[in-house]
């Protein structure tokens, strides 16, 4: 429940930023329209190039607003001017494309308008996706298309009403604010849907921020130009968090030390508390039946030579096997061979394979493992 509430707050936060950007962009566009056409924006939008200018300006302001929102979300001032120029420019291009689509299809029946809104939303999501760490272009595109489909659904209900709304200033401001809100909030919805792991950043007691983990490093420090998470009164860069091959890693800038972290790991940096979070896996319900014992297999469960006698180990702590997230699929758990002897396994479908040292076998109900002196069978536990 708390996670859903935090995610909803983030979606609202970015949606509000997008809406404010759209309103500011609309007011600027209205001013441009008044300067170029004394009869007002409704007439101004009848020309394709004018519509491209009108919506391009709005797209630029929405992109700028999302960028500023991302900076304020983590409580640091905006200083990356290169990103600003790129975002505003690409936002203008996406908005201009939306204007051309609107101009070309606004007098046609419902379905082309529905499609045009989905395409325009996808373009805007694609442009804004680099501003959300580890969102990914495809996920940004999907989120934008979703926003367009939502707006397209409204258009399908009553095109006549939409047309009337767009022909007056108040209606245009409200409609475009909805566009901006949808653009910002659906990007976060897409981020939350596809993420595998994330950081929970706690400021004080009640204020919490989240940022997704992935191939893009999340930097912590006082350099607002380079660090996603701003930590005042510290080194320019303290460390970097990253999700790589199913493992959550933290690399310290000063020493270069890389530490493997697990969900629930908590660290303090200045006045911030950083907690590692990850999606739950169905594999947490597996158990291993071996030597008359029933061992629950969860992520990071370590099995020693005492549990699996006869397996030679080179580790000082005697660990010969460990449960970890499967590198090819973060939602799946595997059992890694940390002993110096290969295992013979029989898969649920009856096929057999050898698991050499350093390799993992995917956990599945009915999986049989011959460890050498003992044999085990993996079972799926009930809910």
Evaluate if residue 117 carries a pLDDT over 70: no
For the chain, give the percent of residues with pLDDT over 90: 14
Question: CA gyration radius for the chain?
Answer: 26
Q: Do residues 326 and 332 touch, judged by C-beta distance below 8 A?
A: yes
Select from 126, 105, 127 the least CA-distant residue to 116.
105
Residue 26: both structure tokens together: 């609309």
Lowest mean pLDDT among 15-29, 177-191, 346-360: 177-191
Nearest CA to 209 among 16, 2, 10? 10
Q: Is the pLDDT of residue 330 over 80?
A: no
Instruction: Give the whole-angstrom CA distance, residue 150 versus residue 98.
Output: 16
pLDDT of 381 over the 60 cut: yes
Model confidence band, residue 219 (pLDDT cutoffs 50, 70, 90): very high
> If pLDDT is split at 50, 70 and 90, which confidence band does 39 have?
low
Question: For 280-309, what is each residue's pLDDT tens digit?
Answer: 655 457 888 988 888 888 888 888 888 888
pLDDT reported for residue 250: 93
Q: What's residue 328's pLDDT? A: 59
pLDDT digits (tens, 9 = 90+) for 236-261: 999 999 988 777 899 999 999 998 88
pLDDT tier for residue 383 given thresholds of 50, 70 and 90: very low
What pLDDT score was predicted for residue 252?
A: 93
C-alpha–C-alpha distance, residues 324 and 260, integer Å: 11
Segment 49-100, tens digit of pLDDT: 887 888 888 888 988 888 888 888 887 766 667 777 877 888 888 778 777 7
Q: From the centroid of its chain, how far is CA 49?
A: 35
Query: Over 90: is that where the pLDDT of 345 sits?
Result: yes
Contact 332, 323 (CB under 8 A): no
8 A C-beta contact, residue 240 and residue 226: no
pLDDT higher for 22 or 100? 22
C-alpha angle with apex 187: 184 to 193, nearest 5 degrees?
Answer: 145
Global confidence as pTM? 0.67
C-alpha 36: how far from its chain's center?
41
Across the chain, what does the average pLDDT equal?
A: 80
Residue 283 has what pLDDT?
45
Average pLDDT over residues 108-126: 67
The CA distance from 214 to 132, in Å, is: 12
Q: Tokens standing for 299?
A: 């992520």
3-state secondary structure the chain: CHHHHHHHHHHHHHHHHHHHHHHHHHHHHHHHHHHHCCCCHHHHCCCHHHHHHHHHHHHHHHHHHHHHHHHHHCCCCCCCHHHHHHHHHHHHHHHHHHHHHHHHHCCCCHHHHHHHHHHHHHHHHHHHHHHCCCCCHHHHHHHHHHHHHHHHHHHHHCHHHHHHHHCCHHHHHHHHHHHHHHHHHHHHHHHHHHCCEEEEEEECCCEEEEEEECCCCEEEECCCCCCCEECCCCCCCCEEEEEECCEEEEEECCCCCEEEECCCCEEEECCEEEEEEECCCHHHHEEEEECCEEEEECCCCEEECCCCCCCCECCCCCEEEEEEECCCCCCCEEEEECECCCEEEECCCCCEEEECCCCEEECCCCCEEECCCCEEEEEECCC
Per-residue confidence (pLDDT) for residue 79, from 0 to 100: 63
How far apart CA 95 and CA 120 sit, in angstroms, is: 8
Tell me the pLDDT band of 40, cut-offs 50, 70 and 90.
low
Is the pLDDT confidence value at 17 over 80? yes
Mean pLDDT value across residues 92-113: 69
Q: Which pLDDT value is given to residue 235?
A: 92
- Domains, the chain, with CATH or none: 2-194 (no CATH), 197-278 (2.60.200.20), 282-380 (2.60.200.20)
For residue 154, pLDDT over 70 is answered with no
Q: What is the pLDDT of residue 42?
A: 56
- The mean per-residue pLDDT over the stretch 26-40 comes to 76
pLDDT of residue 4: 66
* pLDDT above 70 coverage of the chain, percent: 81
What's the confidence (pLDDT) of residue 1? 53
């Amino acid at each position: 429940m708390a996670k859903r509430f935090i995610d909803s707050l983030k979606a609202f936060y970015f949606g509000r930023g997008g809406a404010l950007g759209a309103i500011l962009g609309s007011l600027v566009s209205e001013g441009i329209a008044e300067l170029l056409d004394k009869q007002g924006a409704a007439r101004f939008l009848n020309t394709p190039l004018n519509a491209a200018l009108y919506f391009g300006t709005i797209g630029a302001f929405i992109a700028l607003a999302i960028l500023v929102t991302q900076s304020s979300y983590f409580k640091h001032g905006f200083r990356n001017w290169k990103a600003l120029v790129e975002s505003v420019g690409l936002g203008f291009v996406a908005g201009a494309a939306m204007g051309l689509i609107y101009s070309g299809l606004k007098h046609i029946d419902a379905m082309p308008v529905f499609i045009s809104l989905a395409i325009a939303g996808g373009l805007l999501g694609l442009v804004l996706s680099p501003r959300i760490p580890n969102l990914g272009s495809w996920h940004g595109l999907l989120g934008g298309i979703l926003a367009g489909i939502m707006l397209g659904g409204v258009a399908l209900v009553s095109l006549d009403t939409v047309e009337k709304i767009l022909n007056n200033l108040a209606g245009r401001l409200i409609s475009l604010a909805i566009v901006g809100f949808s653009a910002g909030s659906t990007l976060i919805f897409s981020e939350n849907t596809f993420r595998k792991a994330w950081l929970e950043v706690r400021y004080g007691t009640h204020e919490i921020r989240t940022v997704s983990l992935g191939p893009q490093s999340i930097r912590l420090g006082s350099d607002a130009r380079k660090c996603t998470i701003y930590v005042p009164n510290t080194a320019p860069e303290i460390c970097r968090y990253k999700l790589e091959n199913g493992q959550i890693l933290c690399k310290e800038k000063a020493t270069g030390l890389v530490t493997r972290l697990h969900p629930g790991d908590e660290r303090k940096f200045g006045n911030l508390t950083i907690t590692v979070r990850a999606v739950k896996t169905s594999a947490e319900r597996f158990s291993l039946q071996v030597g008359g014992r029933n061992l629950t297999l969860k992520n990071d469960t370590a099995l020693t030579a005492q549990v699996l006698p006869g397996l030679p180990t080179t580790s000082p702590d005697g660990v010969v096997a460990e449960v970890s997230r499967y590198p090819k699929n973060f939602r799946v758990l595997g059992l890694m061979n940390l002993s110096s002897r290969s295992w013979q396994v029989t898969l649920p479908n009856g096929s057999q394979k050898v698991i050499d040292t350093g390799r993992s076998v995917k956990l599945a109900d009915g999986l049989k493992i011959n460890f050498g002196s003992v044999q085990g069978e993996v079972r799926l536990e009930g809910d």
